């Protein structure tokens, strides 16, 4: 997972953890396009975190580190760091985290997933694959506007 | 004229009669009404100026550019509530659903009877609402363009015999682009950025976007101006300064930032009420999976309602659909189960309940924290009513033919049969169990007739600082129970008439609704 890329907010280590989390947070289903985790991480770093308030950036980075060291302990059967988990183990961790009895942890998961969902489902080709075509919608809106103007 | 950051080459010093902080439903109306009455007006708006050319039907793009804190504004407490706020010319009206309600009669009566607001009469407000509705083309949503999401829900409500209908909206020739909350790409929605603000600008008001007000100048107990800085939209750093001298200052930053501003400025708080009584209209969304395509992003996202429970239980049910990038983050589960749901996204519908709550929170300004701190806990009675509302939304979805319903509750993520609704009602849920989003902060600079219990009087003027007005939903003494933009505009129209009277005392009386 090591990358030579430079990030605006995340360290390479944090970016590596996030990249390892992305496929199992989002999951796989037949009609969805393949996940380019590097693209997701770059968007989260450069488009979202870089321009987010400082407290939010800090919180998100702490969540990534907690995912690596703390959450496998809270939601796993035996302790391993996140990067050493198999895909099935990661999915189980996210499932348990999302349904945690602690509302703080559930909210933390919602926040962690939200930014990843923005990054993935905000890509035009992914949105199109689930039926939403922003380009066509905009074109339609512009045509209606021209007629009206 | 509307000035953006790139138009400003040097420090700005200006004198005017009225300085307005904020350009949302309160500030925009004040600006237009007063400039129309012949006064010089300057508006300072912290957000950028965006037009339909910037609205590209890509929700996340809009969230990043027009939402405060990139959509991550939230209240702390039990539960944590996401509270999206607009930071753009037009304020939250630019990114709201365009739903228009007048103040419910029982709420106005409560304000009159319990907060001494007998001057706010149904008759006067009725005239004002009529005028605003005409200006903003308020009309019932056309069933041809409401979309299957809303039609399905109404069909379910009709089957159950619940009182339901199509919402009134400030939209002209709307064709249901489906992205109201992310900037209308056809200028159908008559938000402040394309209605009151351009009109104010045309009549001579100076509107400064990317301009953060920081200090209200007070001399001899009277507001006399505003100071602030322009903000570079790329770096969010302060740049050139602005100083506006004024005879009247109107603070219209919304129910989070108006009290925060007053607390930072140590102004208008002899009652100790600034920042207290925060209400937010907590909303709980319920998704449903159908056999057939719903395509919830087509049509007006919020265009149908059920008001069956409003008088008895204090909640409304209203449409709430969004495109996949935003909605994906609200659906339950993680990993493959979540992906499986998302792969069926065209078949997913979404509706929400909105609670007129009794719970109260607060807005605070902390010394070393650069933002307002919002606290809010949902009380047990509100949690019970919210639970009931979720059960009713689920019931309507099943009546409309849903295969599965997702009430967004950790303890019950999915219902596969209407029989489970009774089980849902029996759960002993607390505030923490809900995933709450809230859209209507109110009440933090409440108006009233008693200076010891309120921040402003019935004309929205501060009890403590003469000629300082607060004019946004923060002046509501209680929850409104319905979408508030029309009532904010109505109160702003009334306040503008009062300010006009102060500035031109010899002017012949004019009926405020005319």
Lowest mean pLDDT among A2-6, A75-79, A83-87, B396-400: A2-6
pLDDT for B507: 77
- Does residue B143 carry a pLDDT above 70? yes
Residue A131 distance to chain B (closest CA, Å):
6
Contact B303, B167 (CB under 8 A): yes
Degrees, nearest 5: CA angle A40-A42-A47:
100
- In angstroms, how far is the first alpha carbon of chain B from the final one? 26
Task: List B residues 402-431 in contact with A (Cβ-Cβ < 8 A).
Answer: 410, 413
pLDDT band for A31, please (50, 70, 90 cuts): confident
Tokens of B393: 């939304």
- Does residue B176 carry a pLDDT above 90? yes
Tokens of B354: 């909105």
- Does residue B471 carry a pLDDT above 70? yes
B12-41, pLDDT tens digit by residue?
999 999 999 999 999 999 999 999 999 999
pLDDT for B182: 97
Q: Which residues of B touch A147 (CB under 8 A)?
A: none
Residue A88 CB-density burial (10 A; 0-12 exposed, 13-18 middle, 19+ buried): exposed
Give me chain B's average pLDDT, please. Answer: 96
* A31 or A40: which leads in pLDDT: A40
Contact B206, B1 (CB under 8 A): yes
pLDDT band for B459, please (50, 70, 90 cuts): very high
B186-200, pLDDT tens digit by residue?
999 999 999 999 999
Contact A20, A30 (CB under 8 A): no
Please give the residue of chain B at the shortest CA–CA distance from A124.
B58
pLDDT for B508: 72
Residue B466 CB-density burial (10 A; 0-12 exposed, 13-18 middle, 19+ buried): middle
B331-356, pLDDT tens digit by residue?
999 999 999 999 999 999 999 999 99
- Pairing of β B404-406 and β B211-219: unpaired
- Does residue B305 carry a pLDDT above 60? yes
Tokens of B450: 């008693």
List of E strands, B38-163 = 41-44, 74-75, 81-82, 138-140
Which residues does residue B305 pair with via DSSP β-bridges, in sequence order?
B165, B318
Q: Which residues of A touch B63 (CB under 8 A)?
A: 118
CA distance A144 to B12: 40
pLDDT for B510: 60
- Pairing of β B12-21 and β B238-251: parallel
pLDDT for B190: 98
Do A53 and B177 lie within an 8 Å CB cutoff? no
In chain A, what is the greatest distance between 2 CA atoms, to the nearest angstrom?
A: 65
Give the Å distances, CA to CA, from B78 to B81, B120, B353: 8, 35, 18
Q: Which residues of A touch B340 (CB under 8 A)?
A: 27, 29
- In angstroms, how far is the first alpha carbon of chain A from the final one? 52
- Does residue B373 carry a pLDDT above 60? yes
SS3 B245: strand
Q: Which residues of A touch B78 (CB under 8 A)?
A: 103
CA distance B195 to B180: 15
pLDDT band for B267, please (50, 70, 90 cuts): very high
Query: Does A55 reach chain B within 8 Å, measured CB to CB?
Result: yes
Mean pLDDT in residue range A69-75: 95
pLDDT for B513: 54
CA distance B14 to B41: 10
Q: Choose among B58, B297, B433: nearest Cβ to A122.
A: B58
SS3 B370: coil
Mean pLDDT in residue range B271-292: 98
- Does residue B215 carry a pLDDT above 70? yes
pLDDT for A148: 66
CA distance A58 to A63: 9
Q: Choose among B52, B326, B335: nearest Cβ to A24.
A: B335
Q: How many residue contacts between A and B have a Cβ separation below 8 Å?
A: 144
SS3 B276: coil
- Does residue A144 carry a pLDDT above 90? no
Do A122 and B325 lie within an 8 Å CB cutoff? yes
Which residues does residue B238 pair with via DSSP β-bridges, in sequence order?
B231
Whole-model pTM above 0.90?
yes
| DSSP state for residue B474 in the 8-state scheme | G
Tokens of B264: 């930072």
CA distance A41 to A25: 13
Do A138 and B413 lie within an 8 Å CB cutoff? no
pLDDT for B95: 97
Q: Which residues of B touch A87 (CB under 8 A)?
A: none
Q: Looking at this predicted complex, what is its ipTM?
A: 0.94
pLDDT for B220: 96
In chain B, what is the greatest distance between 2 CA atoms, to the nearest angstrom?
A: 71
Contact B280, B441 (CB under 8 A): yes
CA distance A68 to B104: 51
pLDDT band for A3, please (50, 70, 90 cuts): low
Q: Which residues of A touch B61 (CB under 8 A)?
A: 122
The total number of residues written for chain B in this structure: 514
pLDDT band for B43, please (50, 70, 90 cuts): very high
- Does residue A67 carry a pLDDT above 80? yes
pLDDT for A86: 95
pLDDT > 90: percent of chain B: 96
| DSSP state for residue B103 in the 8-state scheme | P
Query: Does A50 reach chain B within 8 Å, measured CB to CB?
Result: no
Mean pLDDT in residue range B45-49: 97
Residue B139 CB-density burial (10 A; 0-12 exposed, 13-18 middle, 19+ buried): middle
| DSSP state for residue A44 in the 8-state scheme | I
- Does residue B511 carry a pLDDT above 90? no
Tokens of B76: 């702390």
């Amino acid at each position: 997972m090591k990358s030579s890329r430079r990030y605006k907010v995340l360290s390479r280590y944090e970016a590596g953890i996030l990249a390892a989390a992305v496929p199992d947070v989002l999951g796989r289903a037949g009609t969805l396009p393949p996940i380019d985790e590097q693209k997701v991480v770059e968007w989260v770093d450069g488009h979202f975190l870089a321009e987010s308030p400082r407290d939010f950036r800090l919180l998100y980075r702490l969540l990534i580190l907690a995912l690596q060291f703390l959450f496998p302990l809270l939601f796993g059967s035996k302790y391993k760091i996140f990067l050493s988990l198999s895909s099935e183990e990661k999915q189980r961790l996210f499932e348990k985290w999302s349904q945690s009895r602690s509302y703080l942890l559930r909210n933390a998961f919602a926040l962690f997933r939200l930014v990843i969902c923005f990054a993935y489902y905000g890509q035009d080709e992914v949105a199109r694959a689930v039926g939403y075509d922003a380009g066509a919608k905009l074109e339609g809106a512009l045509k209606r506007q021209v007629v009206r103007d | 004229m509307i000035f953006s950051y790139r138009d400003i080459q040097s420090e700005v010093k200006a004198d005017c009669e009225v300085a307005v902080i904020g350009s949302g439903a309160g500030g925009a109306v004040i600006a237009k009404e007063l400039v129309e009455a012949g006064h010089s007006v300057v508006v300072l708006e912290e957000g950028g100026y965006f037009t339909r050319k910037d609205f590209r039907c890509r929700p996340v793009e809009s969230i990043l550019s027009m939402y405060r804190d990139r959509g991550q504004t939230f209240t702390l407490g039990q539960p944590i509530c996401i509270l999206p706020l607009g930071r753009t010319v037009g304020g939250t009206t630019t990114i709201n659903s365009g739903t228009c309600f007048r103040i419910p009669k029982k709420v106005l009566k409560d304000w009159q009877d319990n907060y001494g607001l007998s001057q706010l009469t149904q008759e006067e407000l009725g005239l004002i609402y009529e005028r605003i509705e005409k200006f903003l083309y308020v009309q019932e949503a056309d069933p041809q363009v409401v979309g299957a999401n809303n039609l399905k829900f109404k069909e379910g409500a009709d089957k159950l015999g619940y009182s339901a209908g199509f919402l009134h909206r400030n939209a002209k020739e709307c064709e249901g682009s489906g992205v109201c909350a992310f900037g209308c790409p056809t200028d159908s929605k008559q938000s402040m950025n394309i209605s009151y603000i351009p009109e104010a600008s045309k009549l001579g008001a100076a509107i400064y976007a990317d301009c953060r007000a920081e200090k209200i100048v007070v001399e001899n107990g009277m507001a006399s101006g505003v100071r602030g800085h322009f903000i570079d939209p790329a770096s969010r750093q302060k740049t050139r300064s602005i100083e506006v001298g004024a005879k009247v200052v109107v603070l219209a930053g919304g129910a989070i930032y108006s009290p925060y501003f007053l607390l930072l400025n140590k102004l208008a708080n002899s009652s100790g009420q600034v920042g207290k009584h925060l209400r937010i209209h907590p909303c709980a969304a319920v998704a449903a999976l159908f056999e057939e395509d719903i395509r919830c992003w087509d049509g007006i996202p919020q265009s149908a309602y059920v008001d069956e429970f409003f008088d008895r239980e204090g909640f409304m049910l209203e449409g709430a659909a969004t495109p996949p990038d935003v909605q994906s983050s609200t659906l339950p589960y993680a990993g493959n189960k979540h992906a499986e749901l998302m792969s069926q996204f065209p078949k997913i519908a979404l509706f929400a309940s909105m609670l007129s709550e009794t719970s109260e929170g607060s807005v605070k300004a902390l010394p070393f924290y650069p933002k307002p701190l919002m606290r809010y806990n949902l009380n047990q009675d509100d949690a019970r009513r919210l639970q009931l509302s979720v059960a009713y939304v689920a019931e309507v979805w099943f009546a409309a033919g849903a295969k599965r319903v997702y009430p967004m509750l950790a303890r019950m993520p999915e219902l596969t049969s209407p029989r489970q609704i009774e089980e849902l009602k029996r759960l002993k849920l607390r505030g923490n169990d809900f995933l709450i989003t809230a859209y209507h902060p109110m009440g933090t600079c409440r108006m009233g007739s008693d200076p010891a219990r309120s921040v402003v009087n019935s004309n929205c003027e501060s009890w403590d600082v003469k000629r300082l007005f607060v004019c946004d939903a923060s002046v509501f003494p209680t929850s409104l129970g319905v979408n508030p933009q029309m009532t904010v505009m109505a109160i702003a129209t009334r306040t503008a008439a009062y300010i006009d009277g102060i500035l031109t005392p010899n002017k012949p009386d004019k009926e405020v609704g005319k």
